Structure 1
Amino acid sequence: MPQDHVTRAQLVLFLYRTISAQEETSQGTVSLDDLLRLPDKVAFRLSPDSTTLALLQPWENRMNLYIQKVGETQSTRITSSKDENIQSLYWITDKVLVYSVDNGGTENTHIHVVHVDGTGDRDLTPYTNVKADLLDVLPAQKEDDFELLITMNKRDPKAMDVYRVKLGTGDTFLHVQNPGNVDYWQTDNWGRVRAAIAVDGEETSLLYREDEDKAFEKIASFAANDTFIPVMFTYNPGATAIDQLYAVSNVGRDKEALVTYDLKTRKETEVIYVNDEADISNFIYSFKKRSVLAVSYETDNVHVKYLDKEFEEMSNQLDAKLQNTHWGIIGSPDKDVLLLHTGGDKSYGSYYLYDRKMDKLDKIADSNPNLDEKKLADMKPISFKSRDGLTIHGYLTLPKGAAATKLPVVVNPHGGPRARDSWGYSSEVQLLASQGYAVLQLNYRGSTGYGKAFVHAGDKQWGQAMQNDITDGVNWLIERGTADPERVAIYGASYGGYATLAGMTFTPDLYAAGVDYVGPSSLLTFLNSLPPYWEIGRSQMYQQVGDPVKDKKMLQAYSPVLHADQIKAPLMIAQGVNDPRVKRTESDQMVTALRKLDVDVPYMLKMFEGHGYSKLENERDFYQALIHFLNKNVKNKKKAA
């Protein structure tokens, strides 16, 4: 595996949301342009020789790739994308990078290569309706001899095969063919594809081979409610066969732990770390020490369990130097020069370089220096008991300087639903708070991070117990006196959009207004229109949502579009034409159903956008309309005589 990254999970897709300042902030705290403008500099990556930084900056209202020498402040643009934002970026050598870019919101990502001087920019995956993702890099002696391992559904839209792509020529070869049920590939530390996770109905299986000239063998199977994800092979230089791997597993326990697994005995050999409160969220591995240095987990915030004394001491020193415990290392922890990113709930964050030998810390950049953190709102962790006694965690952000009584509220359920809200900076939350709204974010049952029982408590509970958790959160806020019961809105995207429609439909007296952003309106039509590369996980989707045949009546009962006549309050809907996850028809049919009832529903539909808007001009339109709609129907709502 590439050794300047701990796991491929660090190839983060950066999303940026913006708005035009056409409405004044109710608290007079911060302008919307400053709050939601494109960040100045983000996604820094340090070259292998530690002399050059790659980063993303705005150009022509799109995030583009720039190069900046260490020790300098000026950067040089090396890409010229005017249509799409450049997303993840990765150093291959000191002179060559690769980056990914979406295609009109379709999620058919393309992998490009470019030299640090801006020459040689080429699409390595120039295929139509094909999704490409970087799996690994095969090292070589010469620059042009490097090869990338890229997963693509080029041969079969439903299956991600592994391809070998020559960096110098772009020549592409099928390397490992997907048997039709693999949805996760794992390479060893030399880039050999050695393990995979296959889906067999609701169950999953671990596939393994000793070397690439041998066939994969199924060596373990896991029940529908169990998680087992191989994350890297143990490091054993010179070995011809590697018999153990690190995995994230909750097999035999409730919480996901970091474990070692013996591929010959087919047994878990060691629990490196497990937390009683939460699943692990990441780990830091040292190839130099051949050991795990630290493991992180998330409750109200991200916490770290240190497993290496020297690394813990360095981390404590950096806490003091940064005056911030919310930071992380980008890249390998073994380098003499470390790239750091700090964050918080009121900042996009800042980047630093730390020279370990000289014990010297230098700031590189603030991502958005125009933001005055003193004017932004605090995000506070909260918890309450649901109606059936389950503890629900979340976050509450109150308008800066406002008394915490009788406030207009926006409850903002997250998407996924197998995801979670976390403590940290959200331009969207700060936007709503700047307009005078309290913002309630809830990790309802079915959210990840709180263990196996909690996540599966959401199975087949769309619109039911999951929705009850959101309703209970609103009532908890009303009972505390924080929320004005006549001025509560619900707004969410993806599953959060479904929760918005369900809230407006099944608890119509609770909300003064709702905003559905790319949310499913019918559980039946949603399940019948999944992207082709989700087909492998269809049985797992049925486990989570419901089976269209066996559970048809339940799915009909909790499909908001079939109960549109129950909606009483104003509703706004936004959708991307090219959304591959929640098709445009989901929003179209909801709008049609309401208009047949003579209900005027504002509907924003954007071309060349997918599962959420990414283009600056469309984001501005959306957030401007969102604020206008909420202010009219919620904050400034006229009370009935």
Structure 2
Amino acid sequence: MSIDATSRAPLRHLLLEGERNTWPRLSPDGRSVVFVHTTDAGPELWLHGANGARRHLISHHGETIGDLRWTPDASALLYRHAPRGRERWALSHLRAPDLTPSPLVEDGSVIEYWLSRTAPGVVVHSSRTAAGVGLFRTNLDGGTERLGDQAGFHRLLVDGDLRWRGGVRLAEDGSVRVLLGPDADSAREVLAIGVEGAADLSVQGFSHDGRRLYLLTSDGAATRRLLSVDVGTGEVSTVFAHPGLDVESYPIAGEGVWFDPVGGEPDVCAVLGQRLGYHALTPGPEPVLAGLTADPDVPGVIIDRSADDRTWLVVDVHDDAPIEYRLLATGTGVSTPLFANRPELLGRPLARLEDFGFTARDGMPVPGYAMRPRHGEPPFPTVVLVHGGPAGRDWWRFHAEAQFLAELGYLSLHVNYRGSRGFGKAFRTAGDGEWGGKMQQDLYDAVEEGVRRGLVAPDRVAFHGSSYGGYAALLAACTRPDLVRCAIAISAPCDLVALTAEPPPYWQALAVRLRHQVLQPHQGPPLDAEELRSRSPAHVLGPDCAPLLVAHGVRDPRVAAAGVDEFVSRARGFDVPVRHLRFADEGHHVRANANRRVLFAEIEEFLEVHLADH
């Protein structure tokens, strides 16, 4: 689409496009930024140079690109890529000075990779092998050495000198063991994490001297905290903990922990309640954090830091404008603008995101947000946008789908129902065993609260979600047609009985944890098969089900397309109005612009038919 055509395009058409510029990474010298630029054909890697000039590096049309990292001397850029929807990652790199592309691992087996602080021409990666997880060392100039197979580990631990230091092992009961040692045979357990704490475990890596391992978990605490494990003694100490919120940031910024690039120790942690908050762990970053943004309503989110820490890559998050990236000189506080993720939306009038918290019927405080249309008066026809996970969450941010709905005249509710992450372990584990139970009831309570406040038209409510959110939308349509006039479900699991009895291969490694989350309430006995059927759209579907729009990617490794197809066939057998979209080149998410145009055109027409006031 040309710039002139973009300027004339209706706003709702621009909102359904995917992000154009995403996942930037700062070069170690702080002068250049590489980023993913997405066209209609697919993603490409581009470089924003020191002089502001931009150039195309390589295209991966029809694929997904992620996990971009520079070698410490900027002699190469590494990244993972996979066919769209497949989630089987290859590893490639671009070599300086001309950033010539070259593949490193092409078989789609790469799990993760590590770069050396002292040997920039070497990469170590873990891959799926017949024996389990294999560890490999590759010279960027050519040649790969197999370091061995580490059977029984879910994840391997490698330090900044590319030495195997241990691994994370899943136990039969869903708990996790962290082991450290010189080799797999002599590794000793230094940390045992229960199943509830294992759900939010994230290994952050080793200190520069290799003496400490840092990780995040809520095990043994009320919130997800940053821990330090002394490699020599096994002693565990708390580096940072917030009394009510988990350590967390926006997804584009990692897990909410930043390390001093010079000394290698953690120096900043973030928590994300209704808004983002930073906590300096050392005096060094305090003045930079204080001047990170001039507007308290526009969070400045740390993305990356140069090797000398003199330059930070920051993104400014808006609710009514696209997010904008900039370089921040830490010594002077001067910012250099880079680009927006959705440049075609700059200057366009957009709706605002407001806080929408309430108390559920059992007394549980439930946080969330709402976006009302820019025009019209309440009560509004309403779409409940149900996030996935279910241990995901909604953030204060630019929300393209909500903006799209607002432009069509619909209010949207964004409910961080119990089970959502970020608000402490008790709130997250309150969702255990509550698929279709109290988590679902929180969504219904949100609608009732919106009606009470005069925002929501009670007879014009739709549910819309992907993954778990799609499941919740289907269940609402099947069991509460009195409340939900229609539902939109994308990549939705339909049958909890099948999901827990025979999880798809994608979930096999985490099958115990998945079963615990679905079957085991925080208090009380596990759910039996009868209860699971009563909470499964596939088993409660009947002729009274509200009209449905169901979309799915045929390549989805997480939710088998066959189960969704069967659900749609049975719904049509009951004469339930169903629109069914199958995308042959998508997986668990609908990413391609061409497919998004089809999907959102269908959503617009579907809501016009079933939700608009005629």
Q: TM-score, normalised by structure 2?
A: 0.90
Q: Trace 1:558-569 onto structure 2 (pairs within 5 A).
A: 558-565=535-542, 567-569=544-546
Q: Which residue is 1:623 aligned to? A: 600
- AA aligned opposite 1:207: V
Query: 2: distance between equivalents of 1:383 and 1:433?
Result: 20
Instruction: Compute the displacement of 1:49 (Å).
Output: 2.7
Instruction: Compute the displacement of 1:527 (Å).
Output: 3.3
Query: 2: distance between equivalents of 1:357 and 1:468?
Result: 50
Find the residue that maps to 2:488 and give its secondary structure: strand
Please state if 1:90 is matched with 2:57: no
Query: 2: distance between equivalents of 1:345 and 1:160?
Result: 42
Q: Which residue is 2:558 aligned to? A: 581
Q: Cα–Cα, structure 1 residues 363 and 67, in superposed 2: closer, same or farther, change >3 Å? A: same
Question: Which residue of 126, 129, 132 corresponds with 1:151?
Answer: 126
Please state if 1:201 is matched with 2:201: no
* Contact 1:90/1:99 (<8 A) preserved: yes
- AA aligned opposite 2:240: Y
Instruction: Compute the displacement of 1:108 (Å).
Output: 1.0
Query: 1: distance between equivalents of 2:202 and 2:63?
Result: 33
- AA aligned opposite 2:127: M
Please state if 1:605 is matched with 2:582: yes
Please state if 1:341 is matched with 2:315: yes
* Contact 1:516/1:571 (<8 A) preserved: yes
Question: Which residue of 409, 415, 425 corresponds with 2:382?
Answer: 409
Instruction: Compute the displacement of 1:435 (Å).
Output: 0.9
* Contact 1:512/1:634 (<8 A) preserved: yes
Q: Which residue is 2:491 aligned to? A: 518
- Which structure has more relative contact order (CA 8 Å, sep 6+)? It is 1
* Contact 1:64/1:85 (<8 A) preserved: no
Please state if 1:368 is matched with 2:345: no
Q: Which residue is 2:149 aligned to? A: 177
Q: Which residue is 1:276 aligned to? A: 243
Please state if 1:187 is matched with 2:158: yes
Find the residue that maps to 2:374 and give its secondary structure: coil
Q: Which residue is 1:107 aligned to? A: 87
Q: Trace 1:58-77 onto structure 2 (pairs within 5 A).
A: 58-59=38-39, 61-72=41-52, 74-77=53-56
Q: Cα–Cα, structure 1 residues 452 and 357, in superposed 2: closer, same or farther, change >3 Å? A: closer
Q: Trace 1:547-562 onto structure 2 (pairs within 5 A).
A: 551-562=528-539
Query: 1: distance between equivalents of 2:416 and 2:380?
Result: 22
* Contact 2:222/2:244 (<8 A) preserved: no
Q: Cα–Cα, structure 1 residues 376 and 461, in superposed 2: closer, same or farther, change >3 Å? A: same
When structure 1 is superposed on structure 2, of 571-580 and 446-455 the one drifting more is 446-455
Q: Which residue is 1:54 aligned to? A: 34
Query: 1: distance between equivalents of 2:208 and 2:473?
Result: 51
When structure 1 is superposed on structure 2, of 285-294 and 225-234 the one drifting more is 225-234
Question: Which residue of 450, 453, 460 corresponds with 1:487?
Answer: 460
Please state if 1:80 is matched with 2:51: no
Please state if 1:235 is matched with 2:235: no
Instruction: Compute the displacement of 1:544 (Å).
Output: 0.8
Instruction: Compute the displacement of 1:472 (Å).
Output: 0.8
Question: Which residue of 99, 106, 113 corresponds with 1:135?
Answer: 113
Q: Which residue is 2:251 aligned to? A: none
* Contact 2:181/2:188 (<8 A) preserved: no
* Contact 1:295/1:306 (<8 A) preserved: yes
Query: 2: distance between equivalents of 1:455 and 1:174?
Result: 40
* Contact 2:486/2:546 (<8 A) preserved: yes
* Contact 1:233/1:246 (<8 A) preserved: yes
Please state if 1:327 is matched with 2:301: yes
* Contact 1:153/1:533 (<8 A) preserved: no
Query: 2: distance between equivalents of 1:415 and 1:248?
Result: 22
Instruction: Compute the displacement of 1:38 (Å).
Output: 4.3
User: What is the RMSD of the two structures over their aligned residues, measured on CA atoms?
Assistant: 2.7
Query: 2: distance between equivalents of 1:409 and 1:60?
Result: 31
Q: Cα–Cα, structure 1 residues 67 and 567, in superposed 2: closer, same or farther, change >3 Å? A: same
Instruction: Compute the displacement of 1:176 (Å).
Output: 4.6
Find the residue that maps to 1:509 and give its secondary structure: coil
Q: Cα–Cα, structure 1 residues 186 and 477, in superposed 2: closer, same or farther, change >3 Å? A: same
Find the residue that maps to 1:463 and give its secondary structure: coil
Instruction: Compute the displacement of 1:82 (Å).
Output: 2.7
Query: 2: distance between equivalents of 1:40 and 1:206?
Result: 40
Q: Cα–Cα, structure 1 residues 309 and 536, in superposed 2: closer, same or farther, change >3 Å? A: same
Query: 1: distance between equivalents of 2:491 and 2:560?
Result: 8
Q: Which residue is 1:304 aligned to? A: 278
Q: Cα–Cα, structure 1 residues 554 and 286, in superposed 2: closer, same or farther, change >3 Å? A: same
Please state if 1:496 is matched with 2:469: yes
When structure 1 is superposed on structure 2, of 595-604 and 110-119 the one drifting more is 110-119
Query: 2: distance between equivalents of 1:55 and 1:33?
Result: 24
Question: Which residue of 249, 254, 258 corresponds with 2:226?
Answer: 258
Instruction: Compute the displacement of 1:177 (Å).
Output: 2.3
- Measured against aligned partners, the alpha-carbon deviations of 1:475-525 in whole angstroms (never above 9, x if no partner) come to 111121111111100010000000011111121211111011110111122
Q: Cα–Cα, structure 1 residues 533 and 386, in superposed 2: closer, same or farther, change >3 Å? A: same
- AA aligned opposite 2:391: R
Q: Which residue is 1:14 aligned to? A: none
Instruction: Compute the displacement of 1:233 (Å).
Output: 5.2
Q: Cα–Cα, structure 1 residues 387 and 324, in superposed 2: closer, same or farther, change >3 Å? A: closer
Question: Which residue of 175, 179, 193 corresponds with 1:222?
Answer: 193
Question: Which residue of 284, 288, 293 corresponds with 1:314?
Answer: 288
Q: Trace 1:348-363 onto structure 2 (pairs within 5 A).
A: 348-357=322-331, 359-363=333-337
Q: Cα–Cα, structure 1 residues 333 and 436, in superposed 2: closer, same or farther, change >3 Å? A: farther
Please state if 1:398 is matched with 2:372: yes
- Measured against aligned partners, the alpha-carbon deviations of 1:359-383 in whole angstroms (never above 9, x if no partner) come to 5321122232331456111111221
Query: 1: distance between equivalents of 2:184 and 2:562?
Result: 46
Q: Which residue is 2:213 aligned to? A: 245
- AA aligned opposite 1:558: R
Instruction: Compute the displacement of 1:531 (Å).
Output: 4.3
Instruction: Compute the displacement of 1:533 (Å).
Output: 4.9
Specify every segment of 5 or more residues in structure 1 that has no aligned partner in the other structure, as ranges: 1-19
Q: Which residue is 2:434 aligned to? A: 461
Find the residue that maps to 1:126 and give its secondary structure: strand
When structure 1 is superposed on structure 2, of 431-440 and 279-288 the one drifting more is 279-288
Instruction: Compute the displacement of 1:324 (Å).
Output: 4.1
Please state if 1:35 is matched with 2:15: yes
Find the residue that maps to 1:565 and give its secondary structure: coil
Query: 2: distance between equivalents of 1:321 and 1:452?
Result: 31
Query: 2: distance between equivalents of 1:101 and 1:413?
Result: 28
- Measured against aligned partners, the alpha-carbon deviations of 1:189-208 in whole angstroms (never above 9, x if no partner) come to 32323232211123433333
Query: 2: distance between equivalents of 1:138 and 1:236?
Result: 11
Percent same amino acid at aligned positions? 24
Query: 2: distance between equivalents of 1:528 and 1:121?
Result: 44
Instruction: Compute the displacement of 1:213 (Å).
Output: 8.1
Q: Cα–Cα, structure 1 residues 168 and 332, in superposed 2: closer, same or farther, change >3 Å? A: same
Find the residue that maps to 1:78 and give its secondary structure: strand
Find the residue that maps to 1:42 and give its secondary structure: strand
- AA aligned opposite 1:112: S
Instruction: Compute the displacement of 1:446 (Å).
Output: 1.3
Specify every segment of 5 or more residues in structure 2 that has no aligned partner in the other structure, as ranges: 249-255, 521-525
Find the residue that maps to 1:132 and give its secondary structure: strand
Q: Which residue is 1:12 aligned to? A: none
- AA aligned opposite 1:418: A
